[in-house]
Structure 1
Amino acid sequence: MKKTGGDVDEFVAAVTPPKRQRDAATMVALLREVTGREPEMWGTIVGFGACHYRYPTGTEGDMPIAGFSPRRQATTIYLLRTGAHAERLADLGPHETGVGCVYIKDLEAVDDAVLREIVAEDYRRVVAGETGDTEITVLD
């Protein structure tokens, strides 16, 4: 994955439907505050910071340290491992999960403080190198 250099504000302004656009603006503010970094476009992902990963299988690449994408059906929040947040996710409110993603259909329906804690903890773990068997090198 690579940074694409797009304008984050223009991207968010073009998000549809309006609820997803509202949620995208909320996520930009939340991740900016939690990470202390400015957002950058990685295709259709709004990312904060950059890192290089290498799985035990040898697969490697670059990705944002924290990020989200306002998909049509739900806002996708990218995490290192959702299993590491199982206890907090139980308190989040309506959502679905994948191995490294949390899908939220309406940010107003979830607990903002819990979401903030989950994202902040995941970010802290990546920056600290607490990533299990995945090698992570923070690039910026």
Structure 2
Amino acid sequence: MAYELKTKETDQSVIEFIEQVESEKKKEDAYKLLDIFTETTGYEAKMWGPSIIGFGSYHYKYDSGHEGDAPLVGFSPRKAKISIYFAPGDPNREELLNKFGKHTSGKACVYVNKMADIDVEVLKALITQSIAFLKATYPGN
């Protein structure tokens, strides 16, 4: 049985999604992130699944044969924290994260409480580096 990806690009409105964010502060931060990601990537924001705002896309294929499409970078203003999505496996990410500000990180995600906790210039560098890493790792996208 084929594995069905949950996170696909949708036609849902990014602005409508942000407007549904309950916390006014998180909504304000989401708009700031939308501006930063749009300006830094040059890509139009698209919804991926019900809650991820993604920029650009790439097609990946793992040695296991599993393949699919994903946004190059993105974010999601979740209730607890803001999730920021960078390239999984980028060996240079840690160096920039050390200068990023207050955050926690998972495999592909970096979690922040609010924009005031992070360095925006480092965020822009992380976005740029992540896109370059993915384009080098998955050429032809």
Same-fold status (TM-score > 0.5): yes
Structure 1 spans left out of the alignment, 5+ residues: none
Q: TM-score, normalised by structure 2?
A: 0.87
After superposition, the Cα gap between the structure-2 partners of 1:77 and 1:136, relative to the gap in structure 1 and judged at 3 Å, is farther
Helix, strand or coil at the partner of 1:92: coil
Residue 136 of structure 1, CA deviation: 5.7
Work out the percentage of aligned pairs sharing the same amino acid. 35
Runs of 4+ in 1 over 4 A off after TM superposition: none
**Residue of 18, 33, 45 corresponding to 2:39:** 33
Structure 2 spans left out of the alignment, 5+ residues: 1-6
**Residue of 88, 102, 111 corresponding to 1:103:** 111
Q: Is the 8 A contact 1:52 1:136 kept in 2?
A: no
CA distance in 1 between partners of 2:81 and 2:91 (Å): 20
After superposition, the Cα gap between the structure-2 partners of 1:137 and 1:69, relative to the gap in structure 1 and judged at 3 Å, is farther
CA distance in 1 between partners of 2:80 and 2:28 (Å): 14
Q: TM-score, normalised by structure 1?
A: 0.87
After superposition, the Cα gap between the structure-2 partners of 1:23 and 1:83, relative to the gap in structure 1 and judged at 3 Å, is farther
CA distance in 2 between partners of 1:50 and 1:97 (Å): 22
Q: Which has the higher contact order (CA 8 A, sep 6+)?
A: 1
Residue 60 of structure 1, CA deviation: 1.1
**How large is the Cα RMSD of the aligned pairs?**
1.5
